[in-house]
Structure 1
Amino acid sequence: MNKFSQLGLSQVIVDNLEKLGFENPTPVQEKAIPLLLNQNPTDFIGLAQTGTGKTAAFGLPLIDLIEDNNSTQALVMAPTRELGQQIAVQLESFSKGIKSVNIEVVYGGAAITNQMKALKSPTQIIVATPGRLKDLINRRAVKLEKVQYVVLDEADEMLNMGFKEDIDEILSYTNEDRVTWLFSATMPNEVRKIVSKYMNNPLEVAVNTVQQSNKDITHQFVITKNNNKLAAIKRFLDLQPEMRAVMFCRTKWQTQEIADELGQLGYGVEALHGDLSQSQRDAVMKRFKTRSMQMLVATDVAARGIDVNDLTHVFNHTLPDQLESYTHRSGRTGRAGKKGVSMVFINPREGNKIKELEKKLNVSFERVEVPTLDELKSKRIHNWANIIVNTNVDQQSGDILNEVAHLFGNLSKEDLLKRLITTQLDHLTSGGGEEDNLNEAYGGSPDKRDRGKFNRYFINVGSIDGLTKADLVHYMADISGIERRYFGDITMQKNRSYVDIDSGKDRGISLKFEGIEIDGRAIRVNKDDQGPSGGFGGGSDKGGFKKKKRKDRPRPDKRRDGGRRSGRGRR
């Protein structure tokens, strides 16, 4: 038996819920729906976390309470357009077949003229973001005099986003005898002020509070330096390639920068923030929901309304300014009975923030270690091998193989596989100057080397030479004898690159590249502040590193003619 039928809902709604596959109400629905139906009219407060079924908790009784007339009777306000769209879609599915209920959703980022045209039809329920609704009121496209029900969904987040004045103005256009239903994950002082100002003896339901709703979420934290956070995150992504995650950052700039850097390294990552157009945001979310990417990097504001039920992880690159917002972040995972992980990356001086979170939100955090490079190797190679085995062979591969087969000489299958595996392992140990151990103790680790002391070097090799950043570091390390872990940031351009090298390890590196050629082009490596020194013309698309003989080579300070020396090549 469908338990929704026991809550007092009309038969047409119960039938719709059965068709949608809803049989058992969530705790907030089970408690809120009978109260809102039987105690009508009443002000109401629902305290529940994201993902607990709040939309149905207010949406089902709201639809049943709508009268058969053409006036706008209900207003639902949400903090973001994504959440507003999701609410409208759910309300429409709940009310299918009920001719007296028409629902329109309005939000910024879309043509206001189209929304004004839609609102000319009788609209009983309007779902809106505060900013756009205020614009429509000012254009006289919306009339709220007959609104009987106002729903403030995720009220705490709307106030965090600065909509307090907009809400005050909007509510001033409604009748004083309307009722207000407020839903929120937390009850900070600003929300209490709303309750005090606009609500009269509200009924309250508090279910799935922080400690209850997070029972399926494991809260973890990692201690690492700020400039090692991205390297640490990469290792978790490498360790669990099946992971689906959202990572939260504080600023739009940081969000885009991290997404760009991870994308350039080959990770399936995209950014979601307020500077994207609506069509761009929709496209990003579509790709994320269809599993075309592994991780979404988002700001708190942009992530409001994200409705993805199978997220395995939530990463907090930085903690939110208001610790209550951590509840919204972590609530993105651990939904629908599935387990999830919410991981916080802190620097050694932020341990007190974890303790504050534990105390304020009544959750327990587990400290975890960043995987070392050695721990990642077997996992990385295993995943890579599976990809190779399951790759469909391209029709052109045979012709290309015939062209390059002579380069492999008499290498056995085992020798060839060892070299392929080595190139994969290089990606774990190059391209970022990463230390093997990225973990820190509270207060920091004074024994670790100062990674801020780097010298920047120019090399006249770039992407046109068919190299990746990892290839370049591998080659430079091979020629110079400097271990790959002492290489830092790399900027690769078409025919040149810039490489940071530990200042304690770079002595004489320029001299070690004297006599090196790529297909007859002399290679030059020198400090960037010295400027490039000749021979920096376009690269070669053939690759083929060659090292000239060093025998009888004149000293650099005695060489005046700039001529090239000949000798046997070295790969």
Structure 2
Amino acid sequence: MSFAALGISKPFIKALDELKIINPSPIQEQSIPFLLSKGTDFIAQAPTGTGKTAAYGLPLLEKINAGSPKVQALILTPTRELGQQVAKQLFKFTKYSDKIFTEAVYGGAKIEAQIAALKRPTQIIVATPGRLVDLLQKDAVDLSHVKYVVLDEADEMLSMGFKKELTRILKHTTGRTNTWLFSATMPPDIKTIIKNYLAPDAFRVTIGADRLNKKITHQYTITMAEDKLDTLVKFLKDMGEERGMIFCRTKVAARTLAKQLKAKNLSTDAIHGDLLQKERDKIMRAFKNESLQFLIATDIAARGIDVKDLAFAAHYELPDQVEYYIHRSGRTARAGNKGLSLIFITKDELKHVNELQEKLQVGIDKVVV
């Protein structure tokens, strides 16, 4: 199957070829023809890293009237990083097409500058829910011509506490827009949003109903509590030049682990909720441009991060929820690559690994590091 066969026009295919995106992924194959042709709501359940941005972004770009300066589409994302990434991707897709202007707006940046930017012709707004509500309160954005609303990583938006903002925005747009919802998981809150704000006949697509990317190898290693740090250090050194993320449950644990690994001369830093936005941006830039080899993160701080070619996700502390394990593991094995998800536990935590295996229907093999 090719993008041309799915109905994508030549200018976009030329840009895709340049980006070396040649063969559509399963989510793109199932979403694009429907989104191009039908005028109804759409629900896709697919793991992160499966090509969702192109799955909704290409049909959206095909439907935008480039001759009108009005805002015609709204894409909501859980984090600033994901919003910036989506806007950048859409810009790359439009290299050879009519000029379509996308503006990303998010918290942690000066709202005045974003208000000024929105006064220019803008056909697509990519926004975090909190900042969009701020802009609506200031009458700084006109959504009256919006025909399409995309909820990207909807489960992450809810888990980050954006339920109130999301419902406010959807109340504002439902009834005169098509809503396209993309989510890795379907917790009860998402089902409520679907019931309240999407059409009963919304078209549904499910990719990887088992919820975990098949290209990820799942393993665990048992260590004494006092040996855990040394076991992690050995694993990281054995990885050679491979890059990855290390997950902790709390901000304190992430901060402490970063200090410990830096003391062992490992190229690492941590992101967590206590960082200022500019500090977080600096660390993320360093990780993306590969001057940092390893990134330590808490579950909330890791939301929306997408970094290419990560070889592993290491769980230095077990996650609080099964959904967090899915999101953590999904940071690796992206875009068709293979990856490793490795859990570091003490003997009395083995029952939690068994629970994960049972709930996710996945084999997690014991290894010695």
Class of the TM-score when normalised by the shorter of the 2 chains: over 0.9
Q: Output the CA distance in 1 between the equivalents of 2:122 and 2:358.
A: 46
Q: Residue in 1 aligned with 2:42?
A: 44
How far did 1:21 drift? 2.1
**1:75-154 to 2 correspondence within 5 Å?**
75-99=74-98, 101-154=100-153
Q: Residue in 1 aligned with 2:14?
A: 15
Q: Residue in 2 aligned with 1:272?
A: 271
Q: Residue in 1 aligned with 2:193?
A: 194
Q: Output the CA distance in 2 between the equivalents of 1:117 and 1:315.
A: 42
**1:495-514 to 2 correspondence within 5 Å?**
none
One of 30, 51, 54 as aligned partner of 2:52: 54
Q: Output the CA distance in 1 between the equivalents of 2:112 and 2:209.
A: 41
How far did 1:331 drift? 1.1
TM-score (norm 2): 0.94
**1:14-413 to 2 correspondence within 5 Å?**
14-39=13-38, 41-67=39-65, 68-99=67-98, 101-200=100-199, 201-210=201-210, 214-370=213-369
Asked if structure 1 preserves the Cα contact closer than 8 Å seen for 2:44 and 2:183, the reply is: yes
Q: Which has the higher contact order (CA 8 A, sep 6+)?
A: 2
Instruction: Output the amino acid matched with 2:170.
Output: L
How far did 1:362 drift? 2.0
Tell me the alpha carbon deviations over residues 54-88 of structure 1, each in whole angstroms, 9 at most, x when there is no partner: 00000000111112322211110111110111000
Asked if structure 1 preserves the Cα contact closer than 8 Å seen for 2:51 and 2:335, the reply is: no
Aligned-partner SS, 2:269: strand
Q: Output the CA distance in 1 between the equivalents of 2:146 and 2:204.
A: 22
Instruction: Output the amino acid matched with 1:299.
Output: T
Asked if structure 1 preserves the Cα contact closer than 8 Å seen for 2:312 and 2:340, the reply is: yes
Q: Output the CA distance in 2 between the equivalents of 1:150 and 1:189.
A: 21
Q: Output the CA distance in 1 between the equivalents of 2:225 and 2:171.
A: 46
Asked if structure 2 preserves the Cα contact closer than 8 Å seen for 1:210 and 1:327, the reply is: no
Q: Output the CA distance in 2 between the equivalents of 1:99 and 1:116.
A: 24
Q: Output the CA distance in 1 between the equivalents of 2:28 and 2:229.
A: 40
More divergent stretch after superposition (336-345 vs 55-64) = 336-345
Asked if structure 1 preserves the Cα contact closer than 8 Å seen for 2:77 and 2:127, the reply is: yes
Aligned-partner SS, 1:349: helix
Q: Output the CA distance in 1 between the equivalents of 2:333 and 2:121.
A: 40
Aligned-partner SS, 1:126: strand
Tell me the alpha carbon deviations over residues 463-504 of structure 1, each in whole angstroms, 9 at most, x when there is no partner: xxxxxxxxxxxxxxxxxxxxxxxxxxxxxxxxxxxxxxxxxx
For the pair shown, which has the larger CA radius of gyration, 1 or 2?
1
Q: Output the CA distance in 2 between the equivalents of 1:160 and 1:75.
A: 20
Asked if structure 2 preserves the Cα contact closer than 8 Å seen for 1:52 and 1:208, the reply is: no
Label 1:316 to 1:100 Cα distance change in 2 as closer, same or farther (>3 A).
same
How far did 1:363 drift? 1.3
More divergent stretch after superposition (6-15 vs 157-166) = 6-15
Aligned-partner SS, 2:173: coil
Instruction: Output the amino acid matched with 1:202.
Output: A
Label 1:204 to 1:276 Cα distance change in 2 as closer, same or farther (>3 A).
same
Identity %: 50
How far did 1:102 drift? 1.1
Runs of 4 or more above 6 Å deviation:
none
Tell me the alpha carbon deviations over residues 135-182 of structure 1, each in whole angstroms, 9 at most, x when there is no partner: 111111112222111111111111111111110112222252211111
Asked if structure 2 preserves the Cα contact closer than 8 Å seen for 1:146 and 1:175, the reply is: no
Q: Output the CA distance in 2 between the equivalents of 1:315 and 1:33.
A: 34
How far did 1:317 drift? 1.6
Tell me the alpha carbon deviations over residues 371-419 of structure 1, each in whole angstroms, 9 at most, x when there is no partner: xxxxxxxxxxxxxxxxxxxxxxxxxxxxxxxxxxxxxxxxxxxxxxxxx
TM-score (norm 1): 0.62
C-alpha RMSD of the superposition: 1.8
Q: Output the CA distance in 2 between the equivalents of 1:172 and 1:290.
A: 40
**1:477-516 to 2 correspondence within 5 Å?**
none
Instruction: Output the amino acid matched with 1:12.
Output: P
Asked if structure 2 preserves the Cα contact closer than 8 Å seen for 1:314 and 1:330, the reply is: yes
Asked if structure 1 preserves the Cα contact closer than 8 Å seen for 2:314 and 2:342, the reply is: yes
**1:405-424 to 2 correspondence within 5 Å?**
none
Q: Output the CA distance in 2 between the equivalents of 1:14 and 1:241.
A: 37
Q: Which runs of 5+ in 2 are unaligned?
A: none
Asked if structure 1 preserves the Cα contact closer than 8 Å seen for 2:45 and 2:185, the reply is: yes
Aligned-partner SS, 1:205: strand
Q: Output the CA distance in 2 between the equivalents of 1:337 and 1:135.
A: 38
Q: Output the CA distance in 2 between the equivalents of 1:294 and 1:284.
A: 11
